[in-house]
Amino acid sequence: MHKRDDLAHSAAVMYYVQDQTMDAIAKEFGVSRATVSRLLKHARDSGLVRITVAEVSRGTDVLGRQLERTFGITAHVVQVRGAASEAARLEQVSKVAASVLDTLLEPGTILGFAWGSTMTELARHLTPRRVPESVVVQLNGAGSARRSGIPYTGAILNSAAEAFGSQVVHFPVPAFFDYAETKRAMWRERSIRGVLALQAQATVAVFGVGALYGTVPSHVYSSGYFDEEDYARLARDNVVGDVCTVLLREDGTWADVEMNSRATGPTPHELSRIEHRLCVVAGAHRTPALLGALRARAVTDLVVDELTAKLLLDRAEGL
């Protein structure tokens, strides 16, 4: 093999077999991360690496069709070993979701990207592929009273932007304002209006659902975004979770939830204007929030683990 083939082969082994990051490979080779990305692309293009996707089991195929009929979406059900940990479940779903997201991107795509534990994992599994003239725009603010949110969201968005060779646009506002009037004032600022306008032009959006309850609380509920008074309001409003930090009930209603007047993410109505809305969900504790998101028409494409898919269908029939 030529020297480039040798390097590409070594990089591919480290990335695909040894599960090392592109940053670690770049450090080992003494090159830039972009060079590693190009080596991995060369490995795929030249046939050194061949990626195949296993056929789904008949059970997951049936579940997918049931979800599509029930909710009018495109569904991808991921078979995960029953005894798998929550982390392993999220990893398997995120790998499939990264592949699905790749199929939705084309030159000039404006990709709305949310944040959270699911998006963090998905960003790890994006396969580098240049998407010319593409933009990755942050969908919802991330700051709280304790932190700016910038390092956290920056790492997620930058991973996506680097994978696709995209321009990245951040949304420098908190996840929730303390006062609704502050949000209204900020939404009049030209710099904020520019980001909102870009979000409105998105043709693809990718997000998870946050779960208010369960054994694994979502990032927005476990990282100091709410105080005790806020939680009391959420309980009174029967909130079960959120999409892009817009709070939802299980029946899909959200407009009259008081705290949404302070939320900075796009509402389900605003999301509905985006052609492809990819929702990625792993974990049974997210089922009520996912049902709310589907009933709010926030989703067109869903990647979900098999157990959660079954619970979702059962819950939908019983609601």
Number of domains in the chain: 2
User: What local confidence, expressed as pLDDT, does residue 159 receive?
Assistant: 93
User: Do 70 and 36 reside in the same domain of the chain?
Assistant: no
Q: Which of 1, 28, 24, 25 minimizes the C-alpha distance to 11?
A: 25
User: What local confidence, expressed as pLDDT, does residue 226 receive?
Assistant: 84
What is the distance between the alpha carbons of residues 112 and 206, in angstroms, rounded to a whole number? Answer: 6
User: What local confidence, expressed as pLDDT, does residue 194 receive?
Assistant: 97
In a domain, 50, yes or no: no
Mean pLDDT by runs of 10 across the 319 residues of the chain is 78 82 90 90 82 54 93 94 83 94 95 93 92 95 60 84 95 92 96 97 96 73 79 93 95 96 96 97 95 97 96 88
Place of tokens 């969201």: 153
280-319 as b/e: b if 16+ CB within 10 A? bbbbbbbbbbbbbbbbbbbbbbbbbbbbbbbbbbeebeee
Place of tokens 């683990």: 305
The secondary structure element, H or E, covering residue 302 is strand 301-305
User: What local confidence, expressed as pLDDT, does residue 151 receive?
Assistant: 55
Q: Which of 240, 247, 278, 284 minimizes the C-alpha distance to 262?
A: 247
User: Do 112 and 27 reside in the same domain of the chain?
Assistant: no
Q: What's the predicted TM-score (pTM) here?
A: 0.79
User: Do 153 and 95 reside in the same domain of the chain?
Assistant: yes
User: Do 233 and 140 reside in the same domain of the chain?
Assistant: yes
In a domain, 188, yes or no: yes
User: Do 159 and 10 reside in the same domain of the chain?
Assistant: no
User: Do 146 and 188 reside in the same domain of the chain?
Assistant: yes
Query: How many CA atoms does the CB half-sphere of 5 hold within 13 Å?
Result: 5
Q: What are phi and psi of 177, to 5 degrees?
A: -75, 155
Provide the CATH number for the domain around residue 10. Answer: 1.10.10
User: Do 36 and 124 reside in the same domain of the chain?
Assistant: no
In a domain, 219, yes or no: yes
In a domain, 259, yes or no: yes
What is the distance between the alpha carbons of residues 224 and 291, in angstroms, rounded to a whole number? Answer: 25
In a domain, 51, yes or no: no
User: Do 114 and 191 reside in the same domain of the chain?
Assistant: yes
User: Do 103 and 214 reside in the same domain of the chain?
Assistant: yes
User: Do 41 and 81 reside in the same domain of the chain?
Assistant: no
Residues 287, 101 contacting (CB under 8 angstroms): no
Provide the CATH number for the domain around residue 310. Answer: 3.40.50.1360
In a domain, 301, yes or no: yes
User: Do 36 and 162 reside in the same domain of the chain?
Assistant: no
Query: Which residues pair with residue 143 across a beta bridge?
Result: 174
User: Do 105 and 12 reside in the same domain of the chain?
Assistant: no
Query: What is the C-alpha R_g of the chain?
Result: 20
User: What local confidence, expressed as pLDDT, does residue 55 receive?
Assistant: 47
The secondary structure element, H or E, covering residue 210 is strand 210-211
Enter the DSSP assignment of 13: I
Q: Which residue range is the domain that position 34 belongs to?
A: 3-45
Q: Which of 319, 171, 169 minimizes the C-alpha distance to 250?
A: 319
User: What local confidence, expressed as pLDDT, does residue 319 receive?
Assistant: 56
